[in-house]
Amino acid sequence: MNRRDFIIQTVRGVGAVVLARNSVALGSASTTSKVSASDTVAIGGTGITTSRLAMGTGTVGFGGRSNQTALGSKELVNLLLNGYDNGLRLFDTADSYGSHVHVAGALKHLPRDKVTVLTKTDSRDAAGVRADLDRFRRELGTDYLDIVLLHCITEGDWTERYKGAMDLLSEAKQKGVIRAHGCSCHTIEALRVAARSPWVEVDLARINPIGSHMDADPATVVNVLREMRAAGKGIIGMKILGQGDLRTRPDEALRFALSLNVLDAFTIGAENKAEQADVVRRIAAA
């Protein structure tokens, strides 16, 4: 090998090592075992087991509506029941989506203990959260809620600012009103605080390979999620398809999510049975 060939081979070798390290760092290496949307997974140390894929009901969800609720009660209930029939056991809802009544419609036809209901409150004080828990259970037609999150947290001091709401959720867990509590974060500062807080049992985190609608770039967010996982917190991914920005690259997005080794489950909001079936198929093929 002459000097020129030696240099070329050396550069290629260094480049390959750098690429490999970056892939491992971001979790973009391919998965080593087959998975499915209906796999039973544990949500951190909560004791809750459910399906890997959650059925989201809040695509572009705010102000009491979402793309899913716009389908109408009958269509969304049938979509949820279809998902259940295909092994999807995690129902992702929220007060701000206006989807509680639709989830309740599906729960009427299902064994309650076979479904994991995750919902979210926008209240920030104890009185508001207490009222929400009572109302949510009425709206959902259930005696208890599996996972309740403080919704859309942005403040870097939120564990001090919203201590009253947190204490109320802790009390509700002790009474059996809920099974686990946590938050969904919408800034990197809030996410970092959630990673350090022993109160957070479940975190709903925005993650995808292009950083779309995320708290920071993927590498930064993944590092925080690894800290969470090391602390035994349950982590559920959202914005897996970047709120539609990855609609033409779903396989890439799903492979990324599955290979991170930090997500217990993740939520995707299908808008019809064909989309739901397509996501389930792509997860199995990823």
Give residue 257's pLDDT band: very low, low, confident or very high (50, 70, 90): very high
pLDDT tens sequence across 149-170: 999 999 999 999 999 999 999 9
For residue 17, what pLDDT is reported? 35
Give residue 33's pLDDT band: very low, low, confident or very high (50, 70, 90): confident
pLDDT at 212 over 90: yes
Burial of residue 231 (CB within 10 Å: 0-12, 13-18, 19+) is middle
Q: With contact defined as beta carbons under 8 Å apart, do 155 and 194 qualify?
A: no
The number of C-alpha atoms within 13 Å of 254 and in the hemisphere containing its C-beta is 22
For residue 19, what pLDDT is reported? 33
pLDDT at 138 over 70: yes
Give residue 182's pLDDT band: very low, low, confident or very high (50, 70, 90): very high
Closest to 92 (Cα-Cα) out of 262, 283, 214, 265: 265
Report the SS3 class of residue 284: helix
pLDDT at 5 over 60: no
Residue 157 CA to residue 171 CA, distance in Å, equals: 21
Q: With contact defined as beta carbons under 8 Å apart, do 115 and 49 qualify?
A: no
**Which of residues 32 and 257 earns the better pLDDT score?**
257
**Tokens, residue 138:** 């009425």
For residue 26, what pLDDT is reported? 52
* Angle, alpha carbons 271-275-278 (nearest 5°): 160
Report the SS3 class of residue 253: helix
Residue 240 per-residue DSSP state: T
Burial of residue 138 (CB within 10 Å: 0-12, 13-18, 19+) is exposed
For residue 103, what pLDDT is reported? 98
**Tokens, residue 82:** 């279809």
Sequence-separated (6 or more) residues with CB below 8 Å from residue 163: none
Residue 71 per-residue DSSP state: G
